[in-house]
Structure 1
């Protein structure tokens, strides 16, 4: 077994190329139920430092495909819950909403005995209200590229260890706060089950 670590851009282009390689003659994909994961990340916030963020990931994978068929995950979303301290910090700087773009998340893909570290780009957090007190709820979503296996075997997906985003708190008039935009640089807390799906290719 060996492990390839490839740059983010190369990984994204490779996945896109694999997706477009599917043909209309490929067998239809049978879809299984959704996968749900309850996870925690440690994120670095301005002013208040490291805080634990709860995440609920939902995604649907096919449970099997034919060689040459696209493995296309669907219904992807991540519900994020910022702790009370983060809400208080956002309110302290005058934020009433928060949004994020240029978000990315790591995914580990194993195709038979080959492991590839991939970064999903193009994720975003839509404009969301910051409550006066209590936790702040956000939703992360975005496009997930497909993968077309060219040989029989198994393809496994697991969460990577990092998440990044450009977060912008905004005032009631829609303008950014004095804090501007920041990246919380979140890392997955250790000891969690990160496996998402193993798909049989035949």
Structure 2
């Protein structure tokens, strides 16, 4: 989504600039959410979030925007509800809450992502993919930065076969992360200035 910046991040980290090259490390976490939908109420959704990132980065070296991708498993009740209004495809956007616990500060993020246009089956579960990226940041203190994932806000656009909107129009869905889950996505080692970036 899954897949966004805040003023707190901008104040705590330098944005953009010449930074690290393409990251080689890969990490994924699958998390369970309860998402609100019109007509059918709260429904379980499992979202797998993946990120490519450098294993380590020196102090003062900007970390380039990190690609994020998500795969969301939509349950059969949501499929039934979408079929009832004649929806044949689903698209939209996502705004995922995340946090970087860095040595110098907690850096809250909101990561935007675009949902791929996805056919809706006649019944059963289906998956929706999304892509986005984090902002570029620069760490000012050595140590370990931990990236965790929070709640997700969806803006969904179900369409009929002719491309027109259904009776649901466009709508927002708040996805609350279920409790008691390990939501750590990745850790980055921040090394003293002048050391090499490790992928």
TM-score (norm 2): 0.85
The answer for the alignment partner of 1:139 in structure 2 is 129
Taking the aligned partners of 1:81 and 1:111, their CA distance within structure 2 comes to 31
Give the stretch that moved more between structures: 182-191 or 143-152: 143-152
**Where in structure 2 are the equivalents of 1:12-51 lying within 5 Å?**
13-14=10-11, 18-20=14-16, 22-23=17-18, 31-51=23-43
The answer for the alignment partner of 1:91 in structure 2 is 83
Q: Do residues 148 (structure 1) and 138 (structure 2) align?
A: yes
Aligned partners of 1:166 and 1:183 also within 8 Å: yes
Aligned partners of 2:111 and 2:132 also within 8 Å: no
Residue 75 of structure 1: how far off its partner (Å)? 4.2
Secondary structure, aligned partner of 2:25: strand
Secondary structure, aligned partner of 1:133: coil
User: Which has the bigger relative contact order, CA under 8 A and spacing at least 6?
Assistant: 2
Aligned partners of 2:9 and 2:107 also within 8 Å: no
Aligned partners of 1:29 and 1:69 also within 8 Å: no
Counterparts in 2 of 1:43 and 1:81: CA distance versus 1, 3 Å: same
| Structure 1 residue ranges, 4+ long, deviating more than 6 angstroms after superposition | none
Residue 163 of structure 1: how far off its partner (Å)? 0.5
Residue 9 of structure 1: how far off its partner (Å)? 4.1
- Tell me the matched-pair count: 187
Residue 128 of structure 1: how far off its partner (Å)? 0.7
1:105 maps to which of 85, 88, 96: 96
The answer for the alignment partner of 2:110 in structure 1 is 119
* Residue segments in structure 2 that go unaligned for 5+ positions in a row: 192-199
Secondary structure, aligned partner of 2:56: strand
1:80-109 superposed Cα distances (whole Å, 9 cap, x missing partner): 0110010010000000001112x2111111
Counterparts in 2 of 1:182 and 1:110: CA distance versus 1, 3 Å: same
1:9-49 superposed Cα distances (whole Å, 9 cap, x missing partner): 4146457x7232x44xx6x5694531111111100111111
* Residue segments in structure 1 that go unaligned for 5+ positions in a row: 1-7
RMSD: 2.1
Aligned partners of 1:100 and 1:168 also within 8 Å: yes
Residue 67 of structure 1: how far off its partner (Å)? 1.5
Aligned partners of 2:67 and 2:134 also within 8 Å: no
